[in-house]
Amino acid sequence: MKQAWHYIFLVSLVVFLNDAQLLAQNKKGKFKTRDAELSQLTKERQEIEKNIATIEQQIKAFERELSNADEQEKVSLKALENLDNQIQLYREVIRQTENSQKKLAAQIASTKRKLEETKRELEAMKNSFARYAVGIYKFGVKRDLEVLFSSGSFNQALVRAEYIKRFEEAGKIKIQDISEKQEQIAQLQTELDARFAENEKLLEQRRYQAKVMEGRRLEREKLIAKLRRDKRRLQSQIAQRQAQAKALQDAIQKMLFAEEEAIQRARESRAKLQAGQSTSVSDPIYSEVKGDFEKYKGKLPWPVQDGVIIKTFGESENRELKIVTFNNGVDISTSVGTTVCAVAQGVVSQIGFLPTFGNIVIVRHANAYLTVYANLSEVKVTKGESVSAGQPLGVAGKSAQGSGLVHFEVWHGRNKYDPELWLAQK
């Protein structure tokens, strides 16, 4: 009977120590994965919140410009574009707020899973400790001595003594683990409650953003009605705006075609040189640019870190006022003074200036692709300079409607492309 007790004691001791070790290993592995998941979600939400704050600054810039306009300017195409831009930015703010809610929902789900796992582990710890407590009750210190004295050899007694010591130490650790686990559950519950409260805050933000956007839409409808009543003045503004847009496109195309002709001359010079004629290759900027531009389609970084496209590529029509315009690129709203960067490796081939649209920089890339950056208030590169992806070209200037603006185009020879197809999706 005594040997049976000894056997049960040693078996329960080994089982208890194995349980403690297994729980510790599981705890480390699971929590490490959960913590990494929550950390990533937190990082992504912080980035979204930063983007929203930047867009809201742009909206405020548009609001200031419109509020500072005189009564005549408030009934103009400029004012209409200002409202259109605000509505577009509010759509983006709402979209990003929804993204933040999705990330928050994932955080809540992850925290719930972590909480449930922690509760299960606490229950397992309590059950394991209960077995330990039963063993202590049945055997106690005297039983420990019996186990030792019944050993068949001195070495066996040492081994059993070590097991008993570890058993007692494991019991102390187990009590501490249970206490820590209970604290962890309380902390997770607090985190969960805070995230639920945060979700309510985001819902309120979305309601407010939608309400303000609806207000801007109603303002826009009233403005269109006023513009329609003064047709002569409206036609004059339309003609002026179309002339400005044409001036920008003409200037850019003139620079692009000059670049194309220079490339062609460089190729002809190289061909003559290779044929053995004594003609030197012209300007070195027309040597081949390394790096395959085409493989980055849909993956190019944006020319500005925080920006929203407020005017898309191609033909756009205002049906209410029957205004049709064409954009060779995209107009990106950003903060005034934001750094504008090259989207890929290349060479600065042309630099120009227009009073209405500021500085223009054209960068030539591999395979005869070109990118255009317009409305820069400052240029940080020189013609012929090699640039890498992400290298600053200049800073964003102010738009006529209030906020910062960068006009961006993608060309291949004389063919223009929709930049949205080349830029990475946000």
Please check whether residues 67 and 157 belong to one and the same domain: yes
- Could you count the other beta carbons within 10 Å of the beta carbon of residue 234? 20
Find out whether 331 and 316 touch, Cβ atoms under 8 Å: no
Please check whether residues 164 and 239 belong to one and the same domain: no
Per-residue tokens: 172:
């102390």
Bridge partners (DSSP) listed for residue 143: none
Nearest in space to 405 (alpha carbons), one of 307, 329, 302, 300? 307
In a domain? residue 426: no
Please check whether residues 194 and 260 belong to one and the same domain: no
For 373, residues 6+ apart whose C-beta sits below 8 A from its C-beta are 303, 340, 360, 361, 362, 363, 393, 394, 406, 407, 408
For 165, residues 6+ apart whose C-beta sits below 8 A from its C-beta are none
pLDDT in tens, the chain (426 residues): 445 545 455 555 555 556 555 555 555 555 566 677 777 878 888 888 888 999 999 999 999 988 888 888 888 888 999 999 999 999 999 999 999 888 888 888 888 888 888 788 777 767 776 766 665 555 544 444 454 445 555 555 555 555 555 555 555 556 666 677 777 778 878 888 888 888 889 899 999 999 999 999 999 999 998 888 877 777 787 788 778 888 888 888 888 888 777 777 777 777 777 776 554 444 444 445 566 788 889 999 999 988 999 999 988 877 777 777 888 999 999 999 999 999 999 999 999 998 878 899 999 998 889 999 999 999 999 999 999 999 999 999 998 888 899 999 999 888 999 999 999 987
- Could you count the other beta carbons within 10 Å of the beta carbon of residue 267? 13
Please check whether residues 208 and 253 belong to one and the same domain: no
Nearest in space to 387 (alpha carbons), one of 376, 399, 373, 398? 373
Please check whether residues 344 and 328 belong to one and the same domain: yes
CA 64 to chain centre: 28
Please check whether residues 260 and 168 belong to one and the same domain: no
Please check whether residues 68 and 104 belong to one and the same domain: yes
Q: What is the distance between the alpha carbons of residues 424 and 4, in angstroms, rounded to a whole number?
A: 71
Instruction: With H, G, I as helix, E, B as strand and everything else as coil, classify residue 423.
Output: strand
146 to 3, 141, 165: CA distances (angstroms): 10, 9, 15
Please check whether residues 19 and 98 belong to one and the same domain: yes
Rounded to two decimals, what is the model's pTM?
0.71
Please check whether residues 322 and 403 belong to one and the same domain: yes
Structural domains of the chain, count: 2
Please check whether residues 76 and 173 belong to one and the same domain: yes
Per-residue tokens: 391:
């290298």
For 18, residues 6+ apart whose C-beta sits below 8 A from its C-beta are none
